[in-house]
Amino acid sequence: MNRTVILTALRAVMPGVEMKDSLFEGMNSFIFDGKWLKTYNDNISVSLPFESDVKAAVKATEFYNAASKMSGMEISLVVDGGRLVATDMKTTLSMNIMDDDKVVKCIESMQLEDIEWHDVPEGFIRGAGLCSFSISNDPAFGVLNFLRVEDDKLVSSDNFRASVFGLPVSMESFSISRQAVKELVKIPEIKQYGVGMAWVHFRNANGATFSLRRVVDTYPTKQIVELFDGEKSKEYKFPDGLAESVERVSVFSSRDSDSDLEFITMQRNGKALVVSGERVHGSIEDKLPLIGKDTFPDIRISISPKFLRAILGVSNTFCILNGSLILFRGDGFSHVISLMKTE
């Protein structure tokens, strides 16, 4: 079998490999079943069409690391006794076959063959990526640790900021974790989705199925959406060159002591916008000229540099909402940040 084909398949299913201590054997494995290559870690599972003569499970990280260093163009895979043997005729890798019974039963319980598939709305993945910045990573915040998909909206909040992304059509409602969203936005060419009792499934153009554990709980969608209503100030525009300034300053981006999130600070100083970051070992400050009167409000903005770069790709304007929130809007996406909190 072509070495590139094998390695591409292994990388595709890697998100379902448990990298930490496993609940049971098999969660840190590649599972070959003759027709599919599968992984499962109780939060994410990946099933990829993969024809082979092999039915075996092996430790994933070790197998991939060794196979990726083989130099031959072709790699053969055979089961020899209790081992899976991979060779390119120069290097031979022999690995113990692991017990995958529990993992296989967990995957089978998803009943993927019975999933009702729907087309993924246009813009869904981009919206999930933008909303991911507002998902809490503090377990104490409960359901706010999840992205909510409800009707024609994606919604997220961590109590200090909130995001809403509009979809062209409604979807079945579900909530998935911050980590699941991070993996979801990496999946190439997602075409379809299906919602099961405990999992949400996404399928791409190659027939690979990515299953993400869902949470069933009450999410404060209505309260978050209502944050975007209220009195809005005039519209302000970020100065030219801000994206380049953010790149320079982010090298010394500060860290919030509670959430450990990185942020930079923007504040008006006379006729200049000062962009700054500070860490224990140093600080950095960048100044951008503000042209014209009242081109930037007298406020202090603390924001994730990664998110700011993303939002500048959507819009370079903002306004003040209800006197206490900074509101960004553009191309179906809305985001608010508290003026009193660090992002």
Q: What is the pLDDT of residues 286-333, one digit of tens each?
A: 999 998 767 888 888 888 898 899 888 888 899 999 888 999 998 899
> Which of 309, 315, 308 lies closest to 331, judged by CA?
315
CATH topology (fold) of 119-226: DNA Polymerase III; Chain A, domain 2 (3.10.150)
| pLDDT score for 318 | 92
* Sheet of strand 317-321, all strands in order from the earlier edge strand to the far edge: 146-157, 161-177, 333-338, 325-330, 317-321, 236-237
128-160, pLDDT tens digit by residue?
999 999 999 888 899 999 999 999 999 999 988
Token pair 């974790």 is found at 177
The per-residue DSSP string of 231-289 comes to -B---EEPPTTHHHHHHHHGGG-EE-TTT--EEEEEEEETTEEEEEEEETTEEEEEEEE
For the cut 80, the answer to whether the pLDDT of residue 341 exceeds it is no
Confidence grade of residue 342 (pLDDT, cut at 50, 70, 90): very low
The per-residue DSSP string of 324-337 comes to TEEEEEETTEEEEE
Confidence grade of residue 257 (pLDDT, cut at 50, 70, 90): low
Confidence grade of residue 259 (pLDDT, cut at 50, 70, 90): low
20-41, pLDDT tens digit by residue?
776 777 899 999 999 999 999 9
The answer to whether the CB of 49 falls within 8 A of the CB of 36 is: yes
Confidence grade of residue 343 (pLDDT, cut at 50, 70, 90): very low
| pLDDT score for 68 | 94
The answer regarding whether domain 3-109 maps to CATH 1.10.1790.20 reads: no
Rounded distance between C-alpha atoms, residue 299 and residue 296, angstroms: 8
Give the 3-state secondary structure of residue 302: strand
What Cα–Cα distance (Å) separates residue 339 from each residue in 44, 137, 251, 314, 324? 36, 20, 23, 21, 6
Quick one: average pLDDT of 57-66?
Answer: 95
| pLDDT score for 206 | 86
Average pLDDT over the chain reads 91
Rounded distance between C-alpha atoms, residue 50 and residue 3, angstroms: 13
In the chain, residues under CATH classification 3.10.150.10 are 3-109, 119-226, 236-338
Confidence grade of residue 256 (pLDDT, cut at 50, 70, 90): low
Write down the architecture of domain 236-338 according to CATH: Roll (3.10)
219-242, pLDDT tens digit by residue?
999 999 999 998 999 999 899 999
